[in-house]
Amino acid sequence: MERKSILNIPFVNTTQQGFIEQLMTDHNQNTKRFIITANPEIVMQARHNPEIMSYLQQADYVTPDGIGVVIGGKLLNKPLTERITGYDTMIGLLEKANDHHLSIYLLGAAKETLPLTIENIHKDYPNITIAGSHHGFFDWESPAIINEIKATRPDFIFVALGVPRQEKWITMHLPAVDHGIFMGVGGSFDVIAGTVKRAPVIWQKLYLEWLYRLLKQPSRFGRMLSLPKFALTVLKVRLTGKEQ
């Protein structure tokens, strides 16, 4: 799959549907994969944190989850086909898993949220087997979760611990397994559970999903400052030609 380096991060260059099809090909070939969906916030974190950058470099696929990354690619003459979001990728894989009677593992979210997520997945995707699940509060030193994943061999492992904890957890435990597509999905469990509303389609089409989330959660304002920082960094690279 083609990749384009934007601020030293190798983003896949394909469509949302094309990416899902690639992951199904990987699954059919029993190829273990690690996916990170990266928005401008993660990109800026990685530029100041070598540990986070190492997760991005180790991932099999990094997708442009944020219109800012797509615009940045255009400004740097490295155009990306389209935005590929974590939520849409997870939903696409759930649909495929339902069609082919596959299994999943769910790790993350609040104790109260996870049962609602499981309930709605059972309702909307009745052919999926949920091989196991655990909320996002657990002892990181305990091998219980990864041992359960090793024993049940789910096809897709969705990790909703937030950035960068989910990427750290996957990086730590991926070597212990020989099967499965692992992906950090941020707040996707909350959306599936219905405890958080995704932006209406019109906001998504106008590339204003970030603004909708900010209006709904003003506490995100500090995190949103990464957007202008990302834009300034892209402009600087465009002028100097130096990505460091």
Residue 30, domain member (yes or no): yes
Residue type, 208: L
What is residue 89's three-state secondary structure? helix
What pLDDT shows up at residue 102?
98
pLDDT band of 239, cuts 50, 70, 90: confident
What is the pLDDT at residue 224? 55
- Residue 123, domain CATH: 3.40.50.10700
Q: What pTM was estimated for this model as a whole?
A: 0.91
In a domain, 244, yes or no: no
How many domains does the chain contain in total?
1
Confidence of residue 242 (pLDDT cuts 50, 70, 90): confident
| pLDDT in the model for residue 231 | 83
Structure tokens of 136? 């996002």
CA angle at 131 for the pair 129 and 132, rounded to the nearest 5°: 130
Contacts of 235 (CB under 8 A, 6+ apart): 75
Kindly report the backbone phi and psi dihedral angles of residue 92, in degrees, each rounded to the nearest multiple of 5, phi listed first: -60, -40
- Dump strand ranges (E) for 14-147: 33-38, 61-64, 103-108, 129-134
Tens digits of per-residue pLDDT, 145-186? 999 999 999 999 999 999 999 999 999 999 999 999 999 999
pLDDT band at 196 (very low <50, low <70, confident <90, very high): confident
Full domain range(s) for residue 181: 3-239
In a domain, 86, yes or no: yes
Provide the total of helices (H) and of strands (E) in the chain, helices listed first: 13, 8
Q: Say what the pLDDT of residue 227 is.
A: 74
Domain membership of residue 163 (yes or no) is yes
- Residues 215-238: what's their mean pLDDT? 72
Residue 103 lies in a domain: yes
